[in-house]
Structure 1
């Protein structure tokens, strides 16, 4: 599987250190607040687990599955909700936990939906940000790393449901995904 990786961008150790830093910032910002982490499936599942442990506050965790990619490798802008929240967000300070912010379509949709459901506040925490791909103005409050153009996999992120289990994050060789 590693032979499909063109370049390792962030090691397991770099990711762990950055998640700990983000957790400390979130813990300070959300002390004495009613925090709900909303993880986006499937890509953010590892990040949500690690971040929840790093925050060290009483909090609730829920997941949504929302996609603007369909079966492709780039966003088509049409949002599909595959799994909604089990926990109503009303009254919670919601922190959407995303693996990577690219086009912004999905997160803009989620922010609007959560606000419409009377969340007390809605912010975004992403481990990876790809501002060059932004089609919709979305501003994450917490950003782990900025990534370059290319298809990023590992630490929960996939291509065709593969590579999620890589402990590092790397750029997939373009010939793998047909670039």
Structure 2
């Protein structure tokens, strides 16, 4: 072995089809589990930017028309730093978060969700993918991945040749 792996060397590549299927599965798991008398949710809030595509799909599948975003910056390229809120939804609509689904693509360390959970403690936090360190911060997720896996989402990708994981033949 020639040293530590770079993030792309243990990568989990997600296609548009896969994120769509997994986001629909997330919606189905959340269906009829809201606090409304019929199990409904009153709003979906996407954590930008990664949560926008899954949130759109969840909102469509569950017929939720109130959709908003909270902008949290925690990464600079592939390095995670201290998360900070850049923009947030209307406070009156959000309240303490009860009945609101907060959706993101991935929970990694849990720092972003911890920050948002402090703001909206009664919201339901749902991600498509979850790493072990972040799992305690999420209420519902679809697929668990190892902490050392770097997930490549389709909105970050371009098609090109990639060397095999092992060997070159």
Counterparts of 1:59 and 1:87, CA distance in 2 = 18
- Cα pair 1:108 1:138 within 8 Å, conserved: no
Length-normalised TM-score, structure 2: 0.71
- The residue that corresponds to 2:69 in the other structure is 63
- The residue that corresponds to 1:129 in the other structure is 130
Which structure: larger Rg?
Answer: 2
Alpha carbon RMSD of aligned pairs, Å?
Answer: 3.0
Counterparts of 2:19 and 2:135, CA distance in 1 = 26
Counterparts of 2:85 and 2:15, CA distance in 1 = 32
* Change beyond 3 A, Cα 1:145–1:34: closer
The counterpart of 2:28, out of the listed 24, 31, 56, is 24
Give the unaligned 5+ runs of structure 1. 116-120, 167-171, 174-179
* Offset of residue 10 of structure 1: 4.3
Give the unaligned 5+ runs of structure 2. 1-7, 164-169
* Change beyond 3 A, Cα 1:34–1:146: closer
SS in 2 for 1:138: helix
- 1:37-60 per-position Cα deviation (integer Å, ceiling 9, x unaligned): 11011111111111111113x442
- The residue that corresponds to 2:48 in the other structure is 41
Length-normalised TM-score, structure 1: 0.67
* Change beyond 3 A, Cα 1:95–1:14: same
- 1:77-96 per-position Cα deviation (integer Å, ceiling 9, x unaligned): x2311111135311641211
Pairs aligned (count):
148
SS in 2 for 1:109: helix
